[in-house]
Structure 1
Amino acid sequence: EIGGFKCECMEGYMRDPRNHTHCKATEGHASLLLARRHDIRKIALDHMEMTSIVNNTKSATALDFVFRTGMIFWSDVSTQSIYKAPIDEGNEKTVVLKASSVTSDGLAVDWIYNHIYFTDTHKGTIELTNFDGNMGKVLIEDELDIPRSIALDPIEGWMYWSDWGASPRIERAGMDGTHRTTIVNYDVKWPNGITLDMVRKRIYWVDGKLNIISSANYDGSQRRQILYSTEYLRHPFSITTFEDYIYWTDWDKQTVFKANKFTGQNVEAITAMHMLQHPMVIHVYHPYRQPDGENYCQAVNGHCSHLCLPAPHINERSPRISCACPTGLKLMEDGQMCVEDLNKHTTGNATHSGDGSVIATTTQPDSGYIALIVIGSLLGSSLALGALLIQ
């Protein structure tokens, strides 16, 4: 038909029978995961039921999940720790990382290669660790001021983060720390939250100073302002997207809002105004937010002696993975083996096991061993020292 049009949806989506201009996921029921400082809540989007899944947190700030395993991860800036727990047994939490200082406003989980990436506003770093917290690395530490939100696309091998310091901007780099570049550095003041639309390959962000939601392509091109509002964007902190909508938290209104992600229209509050005290990071919990992808490190750890990380997909000839070394080690010329970095001191991290004992992990780079010192929490319990060979 001349002058006519037809709406089509991407694979995995269908036209909404109630509105044929919108697309809906063909499977699953979406929920929102919300950190609220003193607890973490789950909000069902189909019938707006809110339940608490983790209670008695000190100051829960950032969170993410692995849908495949039903595990959630979150940071607590008061206890300076990163935790994990099954989403249906949220109070059975385990400490992943408890270092001398973990002030993480942003946390993102690589659901394919099984790593946690996080920003540390106190140290001005972007770091990663495995899900057990016993093998970590500082990925980026130069020219960072106050890094906040972080988002990952492990299929493409890119990570994105916001920095609201003296030179506010949004940057991206490969998930191995390479090919760092700034993608947004003008008309931006407080880029609090960012999220990725992995279907359309676009990044969305909220600006708490300018009262706007914007989006751009992964490389920063074709930037668009989605919504400007001093009513609904008084102090936005976090944003997520799913289907044709964006969802964000607002500190001033203490609620979660929803709007059309293309036009910014049809704004509505998901929860009652001023109902949510300290609404922090928000995520849509649905399998489509974590699409399946190939783990190129799965076979013999990518021939890496320690960390195997996804590399940025720049072109068809780009390597899929790169080997990296935990803090205190350096990569040999073969690009696979890690040896002791004599310019850095051996480092250790303290974590807590599920039974309350303290596990001090010390990397012994020259031998390729990790020594585990387990100190019982009960008075008079024995001290055990063991060594685990990492190949």
Structure 2
Amino acid sequence: MFYKHTTTTLPELFQKHGNNVLMQRSNCHVFGSCLLSEQTNTHYCFCVPGFQGDGVDKCESSEECSPTSNQACPHPNQECVFEHSLRKFACQCKNGFIKQADGKCLFEPTEPPPSSVDRCKQCGANSQCVKQLLGGGKEEFIWNCICNPGFTGNGFECREENCLDRPQMCSPNAQCLPDGQKASYLCVCNYGFNGDGKICEPKILQTKETPDKLLIGRGMAIIQRSSIPNLDESGRQLIVQPHQTVVDIDYDCISERIYWSDISGHSIRSAFLNGTEITSEFSDLLKSPEGIAIDWRSQNIYYVDSIKNELGVLSINGKFQKTLLKEGLNNPRALVIDMESRQLFYSDWSRDAPKIGRIGLDGSGNKVIISDEIHLPNGLVMLQTSRRLCWADAGNQKLTCSALDGSNRKVIYAPLEYPFGLTADSLEERFYWTDWKDQKIHSIDITGRGYTEFYPGAGGRGKLYGILSLPVKCHFNTAPSECIQKEHKCTHWCLPGAYVGAFTCVCPDNVKGLRGC
């Protein structure tokens, strides 16, 4: 685009040399040039190649480019970068090169003039002293300390850029989490996605070719490993907390956090699936927490305590606790939840009266369903598809399953050694259990065939306790319950009832003086 200059008087900076016009900048833009028309004796300002505008007040970069093109920019000393002010990709001079009036990028000496030497000496290790155009239409430059790409700061002190500085560097399917090892932040893919945090792709849905990950409690550590022995045999320590003893492990499908009972710390702990942001709750309310079960739909944690001999419920937010059952409990051990029937199943390995019972999520309808031919019932697992309850007995050394009312019992495998934790894979095709005698993980398919055993892997010392097969997706209806959807009129705390739409208003035991309690 040309801009017509109406004056007919030649500016002082223009001289005529024969048939040629010496073009120099006068009242044209810094990235514009002036052309004299011999026929009309009129001056024209125009933007130099690579810029567009009226030539006087405005000359903006017009060199749009594509970063994926083999010939992204017309000049070898340019690079294609996203220009936020223009909201498009444009060609810019590379570091150390300055754009000239003709649009070309020429190398500029990197050594600053004497007046700027002292300032440049202050530049940090991850920065450089760069000559910058001041702008404003004036051809004036200044030397500044600028952090290198990938670093942030004032130029004198530069640290590596992280996702807290620039959240957009994380994938939409990732979150920015603290990196405890570097006292920084890093992008971590959400559960169900793989990648480096900047690029996260969905994991392949669970198949026989994509085995579950197992979480195993051993002493102070939670170990993560593949459920197939020849894949990832070494395992890895996902979480290590001094002085804790991990007993049972469960998973919150909504928050994507794992929870575990710490019998040494008298508490319930939790962390994200990558082991970050560990929390500890309820140490003032518990004595010896063992089995736990997460009701992710209502955001509650159910537990059994073997010293207090109670079965209770805790709100995941850490505010409330309530005891649901004490009568008849002597040494409660394991706990599993059935979302469909809204019931809890618990085991009690009392030497005098071992049993397995069931109770509603609101503490109603307690009933012992198995009390004969049972000795030391340890791990419990619920098979949602077949609607069966299974348990490992360290006394009679059997893995047994039954209907949810305790009928139709069937021994799946025997003999076991001294089983403790029990879980099943997401496809409900195999059982996995830990053993106190040989400190191995044992596995069998649900028909009792295909036995195998393997070590948990590196990390941790002592007995193997709880074991959990991480689900690929939540089972059944994962919509929030009526207690979360505010369909209830409870003043303080709501627990799910025996059927959809039912709920019970309760008062917490740990908070006194609440109105109506």
- Which interval holds the TM-score relative to the shorter structure? 0.7 to 0.9
Which whole-Å CA distance do the structure 1 matches of 2:388 and 2:251 have between them? 21
The reply to whether residue 252 of structure 1 matches residue 401 of structure 2 is no
SS of corresponding position for 2:412: strand
The reply to whether residue 366 of structure 1 matches residue 515 of structure 2 is yes
Cross-structure match for 2:261: 75
Cα 1:273/1:95, change in 2 over 3 Å: closer
The reply to whether residue 238 of structure 1 matches residue 421 of structure 2 is yes
Question: Which 5+ residue runs of structure 2 have no aligned equivalent?
Answer: 1-205
Cross-structure match for 2:239: 54
Any residues of structure 2 matched to 1:174-189 within 5 Å, and which? 174-189=360-375
SS of corresponding position for 2:274: helix
Cross-structure match for 1:354: none
**Share of identical aligned residues, percent?**
24
Cross-structure match for 2:345: 160
Q: Is the 8 A contact 1:151 1:195 kept in 2?
A: yes
Cα 1:367/1:167, change in 2 over 3 Å: closer
Which whole-Å CA distance do the structure 1 matches of 2:361 and 2:209 have between them? 29
Provide Cα deviations, 1:254-279, integer angstroms capped at 9, x if missing partner.
011110112x1211013279997311
Which whole-Å CA distance do the structure 2 matches of 1:303 and 1:253 have between them? 52
Q: 2:455 aligns with which of 259, 271, 294?
A: 271
Give the TM-score of the pair, scaled to structure 1. Answer: 0.72
Q: 1:87: how far off?
A: 1.8
Which whole-Å CA distance do the structure 2 matches of 1:129 and 1:299 have between them? 19
Any residues of structure 2 matched to 1:80-159 within 5 Å, and which? 80-90=266-276, 92-99=277-284, 101-159=286-344
Q: 1:321: how far off?
A: 2.3
Cross-structure match for 1:44: 226
Question: Residue type of the partner of 2:505?
Answer: C
Cross-structure match for 2:72: none
Cα 1:162/1:256, change in 2 over 3 Å: same
Q: 2:356 aligns with which of 158, 166, 170?
A: 170
Cα 1:72/1:225, change in 2 over 3 Å: same
Q: Is the 8 A contact 2:216 2:456 kept in 1?
A: no
Which whole-Å CA distance do the structure 1 matches of 2:260 and 2:286 have between them? 15
Q: Is the 8 A contact 2:397 2:417 kept in 1?
A: yes
Q: Is the 8 A contact 2:225 2:456 kept in 1?
A: no
Q: Is the 8 A contact 2:248 2:421 kept in 1?
A: no
Q: Is the 8 A contact 2:237 2:458 kept in 1?
A: no
Which whole-Å CA distance do the structure 2 matches of 1:41 and 1:68 have between them? 22
Q: Is the 8 A contact 2:303 2:335 kept in 1?
A: yes
Q: 1:321 aligns with which of 496, 503, 509?
A: 503
Provide Cα deviations, 1:191-240, integer angstroms capped at 9, x if missing partner.
011110111111110000111000001111111111111xxx21000111
Q: 1:323: how far off?
A: 2.1
- Point out the structure with max Rg over C-alpha: 2
SS of corresponding position for 2:269: strand
Q: 1:155: how far off?
A: 2.9
Question: Residue type of the partner of 1:223?
Answer: R
SS of corresponding position for 1:222: coil
Q: Is the 8 A contact 2:347 2:378 kept in 1?
A: yes
Which whole-Å CA distance do the structure 2 matches of 1:44 and 1:167 have between them? 37
More strand by share: 1
Q: 1:134: how far off?
A: 1.2
Any residues of structure 2 matched to 1:371-382 within 5 Å, and which? none
Question: Residue type of the partner of 2:403?
Answer: N
Cross-structure match for 1:355: none
Provide Cα deviations, 1:260-314, integer angstroms capped at 9, x if missing partner.
112x12110132799973110111101346433342223225222222222234x
Q: Which has the higher contact order (CA 8 A, sep 6+)?
A: 1
Which whole-Å CA distance do the structure 2 matches of 1:272 and 1:135 have between them? 36
Q: 2:410 aligns with which of 216, 224, 233?
A: 224
Q: Is the 8 A contact 1:154 1:175 kept in 2?
A: no
Cross-structure match for 1:16: none
Cross-structure match for 1:202: 388
Superposition misfits of 4+ residues, deviation over 6 angstroms: 272-276
Question: Residue type of the partner of 1:234?
Answer: E
Cα 1:106/1:255, change in 2 over 3 Å: same
Q: Is the 8 A contact 2:236 2:458 kept in 1?
A: no
Which whole-Å CA distance do the structure 2 matches of 1:296 and 1:287 have between them? 25
Question: Residue type of the partner of 1:202?
Answer: R
Q: Is the 8 A contact 2:249 2:261 kept in 1?
A: yes
For these two proteins, the number of residue pairs brought into alignment is 303
Cross-structure match for 2:465: 280
Which whole-Å CA distance do the structure 2 matches of 1:265 and 1:169 have between them? 27
